Amino acid sequence: MKIPNDKGYYGEFGGKFIPETLSACLEELEIAYAKAKKNKNFVNDVNFYLKEYAGRPTLLYSAKNLSKVLGLNIYLKREDLLHTGAHKINNALGQVFLAKFMGKKRIIAETGAGQHGVAVATVSSLLGFKCDIYMGAEDVKRQSMNVFRMKILGANVIPVVTGAKTLKDACNEAFRDWVTNVRDSYYLLGSVVGPHPYPMMVRDFQAVIGKESRTQILKKEKKLPDYLVACVGGGSNAMGLFHFFFNDTRVKFIGVEAAGFGLNSLNSASLSIGKPGVFQGANSYILQDKYGQIKNAHSIAPGLDYPGVGPEHSFYKKIKRAQYVSVNDKQAVAGFNLLSKTEGIIPALESAHAIGYLKELAKKQKNSLVVVCLSGRGDKDLDIVRNYNGIKL
Amino acid sequence: MRLEEKFKKLKQEKKKAFISYVPFGFPEINMTGDICLTLQEAGVDAIELGIPFSDPLADGPIIQKATNWALDKGANVDLFFEEFSKFNKKLKIPIVIMSYYNPILQFGLKNFFKQMKSLDISAIIIVDLPLEESQPYIKEARKWNIDNISFITPTTSRLRVKKIIKYARGFIYYVSVTGITGPRDLSYSQLSKHIKNIKQNTEVPICVGFGIHNSNQVYRINKFSDGVIVGSEIVRFIENNYCEKNFLNKLKTHTKNIISR
């Protein structure tokens, strides 16, 4: 079975629900990507920069202290050690070389936490692209360090003041820019969401996470893990970790969504409590009211603050290949503190959701072998956590 | 009245169609009826009634603001049908529903078309439903004899144009620019060339929308099209004037000035 099929469907999920103006550019993108994948120079460039510039392969670290505290055998896939501090650079490098391959002149991107924005600003300055990044005005406020990083790197950061002023609205604006400037601009989408071929492309560029993890764990433990755990907003680090293990049916996948203030209140748990629908180019689980209007999401982790999710995750849910659970703001901050104190590693609040879930997992299955994707580092979140905990310096 | 009949009549009278867009529920839920009737009096040939969606990807700031406003006032699909039934008998011109896919999908395609039929609405435009995703929708629309209006844009390839016109009903919505809705300057020579090309292959009328905001543009475009669609300019006018005395009269005059035939 080929996933996705030629029309970009993962079972009933996915597709290309976009205004006609974008049809031609998605087709162009699809053809270019298929060509690029077979082009030696493209593949070599991407691999070279992943290794020499971003710092791959990343370590698979046996977190002994955390394991002891929780009663699990935990390995952390250290995507936080990559250049720019998160897994987002994997996809940004892949797509920026694709933009070059296609002869585009300008890069557009959306960003939530700013990690994707920083990655895009970085690779754009590396390859000399003009770069415009849309970011919700609310996120601009709460992730000001990343905004400053993007500016230093030469990107133009455009605050978005429509809607809830977060990631979903930044995506809308990026699409509007792309519809307007389709001929010379490349839209560098940051997660496994949006219309085909984006969910597939981003997955392919992130699959290196799982590919390395599989080899590394086999070498260290001589067996496959019982569980893979990763946070899910749009779902790129989770899909990147899961993809290479798809056929290892004994390995269970757990995606951790953001329950925000709680599942009965504002949250970002599209798979846990949403319903299928069409939003930002694809059919997938979304948070919506009964009239099909998209709800505002909330998470303490700006990178998870999104009312939709990648269509392949919806497919994994449907076929029960993965289980999707959720962790609220409080549990995420507890995870953030726990990893910092036990291992001396400050995780991004997004990744802290995956850490926050481990306590639950330990209750179910003591001593299991678990690989957790530590998708990013937490420097960007210090202000949020300080405010949350009411810490005075 | 169906679009087909309207275009036939316009052709006999050697006139071009003037279609205006207004979002339902803007600026108030109960003003949509009066606004539609006023547009009819002003002489518009058809009305595109927008059902607001929270994330209107193809719309510029003017329509974004109006649709968000309408959503804040409580606009939704149920309320749309309920409100529309209060004034539909007074409308003598074709009504076209315009929306994004999700509100309609969640209401249920079959239910949606059934409701349209019962209220004599015989055409629909869905912004984010390109040909590839349209099959279930077109099939259901045919069952209820509802015209699905298709878009063609400056980036649509010749091959794609051929596929699209095979399924086109009512009229073809030609998008004047690559971009979103809202006032713009337009390049007539390019537009005219594209539309002449499409016309070689189809009898379905072609109307041009996006960016059109004054009577001069309407005049120039009608030289090669079968009509125009004006949205943002009318929405902007409503936003700026709805609190004024004689608002409906002013809207009528303003609309007439843009039509100016």
Mean pLDDT check: name the lowest of A290-294, B55-59, B248-252. B55-59
- Looking from the CA of B53 toward its CB, the CA atoms found within 13 Å total 26
Chain B residues within an 8 Å CB radius of A160 = none
Q: Tokens representing B248?
A: 């409906």
Q: Where are the domains of chain A?
A: 10-50+88-202, 55-85+205-389
Mean pLDDT of chain B: 96
Partnered with residue A369 across adjacent β-strands are A73
Report how far residue B53's alpha carbon sits from residue A70's, in angstroms, rounded to the nearest whole number: 46
CB contact under 8 A, A291 and B103: yes
Nearest to A111 by CA among A65, A146, A77: A146
Q: Where are the domains of chain B?
A: 3-255
Q: Which residues of B form the catalytic set?
A: 48, 59
pLDDT, residue A67, reads 98
pLDDT, residue A1, reads 60
Nearest to A354 by CA among A214, A209, A227: A227
Amino acid, single-letter form, for residue A363: K
CATH number of B3-255: 3.20.20.70
Chain B residues within an 8 Å CB radius of A290 = 106
pLDDT, residue A162, reads 86
How many residue contacts between A and B have a Cβ separation below 8 Å? 120
Q: Is residue A275 annotated as part of the catalytic site, yes or no?
A: no
Nearest-by-CA chain B residue for A180: B179
Q: Residue B204: phi, psi to the nearest 5?
A: -65, 130
Report how far residue A142's alpha carbon sits from residue B261's, in angstroms, rounded to the nearest whole number: 54
Nearest Cα of chain B lies from the Cα of A316 at a distance, in angstroms, of 22
Nearest Cα of chain A lies from the Cα of B7 at a distance, in angstroms, of 24
- Identical fold between A10-50+88-202 and A55-85+205-389: yes
pLDDT, residue A282, reads 98
pLDDT, residue A164, reads 80
Tens of pLDDT along B85-142? 999 999 999 999 999 999 999 999 999 999 999 999 999 999 999 999 999 999 999 9
pLDDT, residue A298, reads 94
Edge-to-edge strands of the sheet including A227-231? A60-62, A73-78, A369-374, A227-231, A252-260, A322-328
Please say whether the structural domain A55-85+205-389 has been given the CATH code 2.60.40.10. Answer: no
List helix spans (H) across B43-108. 61-72, 77-84, 101-107
Tens of pLDDT along A171-218? 999 999 998 998 899 999 999 999 999 999 999 999 999 999 999 999
pLDDT, residue A183, reads 87
Report how far residue A89's alpha carbon sits from residue A82's, in angstroms, rounded to the nearest whole number: 8
Residue of A77, A88, A252, A380 marked catalytic: A88
- Interface with A, mutate which of B67, B81, B128, B175 (most A CBs under 10 A): B128
CB B120 within 8 A of CB B88: yes
Nearest Cα of chain B lies from the Cα of A172 at a distance, in angstroms, of 6
Partnered with residue B23 across adjacent β-strands are B50
Q: Is residue A110 annotated as part of the catalytic site, yes or no?
A: yes
Report how far residue A186's alpha carbon sits from residue B151's, in angstroms, rounded to the nearest whole number: 23
Chain B residues within an 8 Å CB radius of A168 = 55
Query: How many residues are present in chain B?
Result: 261
Q: Which residues of chain A are under the pLDDT cut of 50?
A: none
CB B98 within 8 A of CB B231: no
The CATH number of domain A10-50+88-202, selected from 3.40.710.10, 2.60.40.10, 3.40.50.1100, 3.30.450.40: 3.40.50.1100
Tens of pLDDT along B154-189? 999 999 999 999 999 999 999 999 889 998 898 999
Q: Which helix or strand (DSSP H or E) is residue A109 part of?
A: strand A106-111
CA dihedral A161, A162, A164, A167 (to 10 degrees): -80
